[in-house]
């Protein structure tokens, strides 16, 4: 399966290393098979059937009222990347999200009230220890089975973006309004910030720890990836296609306020 590196940027790696990593990523993506052991329907998901190297990986999951999906999420993360560190940053969910996550072995940071997604990720990052750090939603829109590929590529010094907008990527069941917002937002961000990554608004991405450390965070709300991309122009960005699925439980926390935040973020990142 093809991967979609952004146009070459000087990341200090020889060309052969880039080719090698692409081959490795392709090997990771290709042999996905449907698991057919018994169990609840959501355990029958596509998982890699070859062992992957296990980089020291931290996965940050911001949560706000996600009790209905957090168990399945953590189960699938554990299965996909057993050695990873999972940090759930919960903003006072009243539905027991934090307790459920803790029972399932996640490191849980409990904040008292809703303080925004970007700040949740940053607080999660401060607790993390991984050489590679990733971010994903708790609502099962982002398949944990993609993590080994994203993490392995990030371990090689890349920003890896799970992408809906490269060949092989898809969106299922998203309302037209959200599709339009996402397309217009991504096109605006690409144009205004001169980014090559097509799904530059993705909330599912991994990067070497140093990329986060180098980032001067000024993104508000939802669009942290933009900030990481803008502040790490020398790192190669790679998009890995996946099928984004509309959340089944709960409701989206994207609000009109987040859209205002998005435009403010674009202005700040251009400055
Ligand atoms: N801790 C925390 N998590 C948040 C906040 N806002 C959203 N989230 C979580 O961030 C992720 C993305 O939000 P989501 O509602 O799925 O947005 P959408 O995918 O754009 O519809 C989900 O796991 C939410 O529970 C927040 O203010 N604080
Ligand atoms: Mg979501």
The answer to whether residues 188 and 266 touch, using CB atoms and an 8 Å cutoff, is yes
Domain-located, residue 85? yes
Q: How is residue 264 written in tokens?
A: 């403010």
Domain-located, residue 7? no
Q: Structure pTM?
A: 0.80
Domain-located, residue 166? yes
Instruction: Give the whole-angstrom CA distance, residue 57 versus residue 187.
Output: 31
Residue 12 CA to ligand 2 center (angstroms) comes to: 34
Residue located nearest, by CA, to atom 27 of ligand 1? 116
The domain that holds 77 is classified in CATH as 3.90.550.10
Domain-located, residue 74? yes
Query: Does 138 contact ligand 1 (Cβ within 6 A)?
Result: yes
Instruction: Give the whole-angstrom CA distance, residue 71 versus residue 43.
Output: 12
Domain-located, residue 199? yes
Residue 64 CA to ligand 1 center (angstroms) comes to: 6
Domain-located, residue 5? no
Task: Quickly tell me which residue has 């994903």 as its tokens.
Answer: 136
Domain-located, residue 147? yes
Task: Quickly tell me which residue has 């070859």 as its tokens.
Answer: 50
Domain-located, residue 156? yes
Query: Does 253 contact ligand 1 (Cβ within 6 A)?
Result: yes
The pLDDT, as a whole number, for residue 221 is: 64
Task: Give the residue numbers spanning the domain of 36.
Answer: 12-270
Residue located nearest, by CA, to atom 20 of ligand 1? 254
pLDDT tens by residue, the chain, 271 residues: 335 444 444 443 333 333 444 444 444 443 333 334 444 444 333 444 444 444 499 999 999 999 999 999 999 999 999 999 999 999 999 999 999 999 999 999 999 999 989 999 999 999 999 999 999 999 999 999 999 999 999 999 999 999 999 999 999 888 898 888 889 999 999 999 999 999 999 999 999 999 999 999 886 666 899 999 999 999 999 999 999 998 888 888 777 787 788 888 888 888 8
Query: Does 178 contact ligand 1 (Cβ within 6 A)?
Result: no
Query: Does 114 contact ligand 1 (Cβ within 6 A)?
Result: yes
Query: Does 91 contact ligand 1 (Cβ within 6 A)?
Result: yes
Q: Give the chain's domain count.
A: 1
């Amino acid at each position: 399966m093809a991967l979609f590196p952004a146009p070459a940027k000087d990341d200090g790696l020889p060309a052969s290393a880039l080719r090698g990593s692409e081959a490795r990523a392709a090997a990771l993506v290709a042999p996905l098979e449907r698991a057919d052991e018994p169990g609840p329907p959501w355990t029958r998901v596509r998982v890699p059937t070859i062992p992957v190297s296990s980089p020291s990986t931290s996965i940050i999951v911001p949560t706000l009222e996600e009790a209905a999906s957090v168990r399945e999420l953590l189960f699938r993360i554990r299965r996909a990347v057993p050695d990873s560190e999972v940090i759930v940053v919960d903003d006072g969910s009243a539905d027991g999200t934090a307790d459920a996550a803790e029972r399932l072995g996640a490191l849980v940071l409990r904040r008292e009230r809703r303080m925004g997604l970007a700040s949740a990720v940053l607080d999660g990052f401060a607790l993390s220890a991984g050489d590679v750090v990733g971010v994903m939603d708790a609502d099962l829109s982002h398949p944990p089975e993609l993590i080994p590929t994203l993490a392995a590529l990030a371990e090689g010094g890349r920003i890896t973006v799970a992408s809906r907008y490269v060949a092989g990527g898809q969106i299922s069941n998203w309302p037209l309004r959200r599709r339009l917002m996402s397309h217009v937002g991504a096109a605006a961000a690409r144009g205004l910030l001169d980014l090559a990554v097509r799904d530059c608004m993705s909330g599912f991405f991994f990067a070497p720890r140093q990329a986060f450390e180098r980032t001067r965070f000024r993104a508000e709300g939802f669009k942290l990836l933009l900030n990481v991309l803008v502040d790490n122009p020398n790192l190669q960005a790679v998009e890995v296609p996946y099928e984004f699925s509309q959340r089944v439980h709960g409701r989206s926390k994207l609000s009109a306020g987040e859209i205002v935040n998005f435009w403010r973020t674009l202005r700040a990142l251009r400055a």
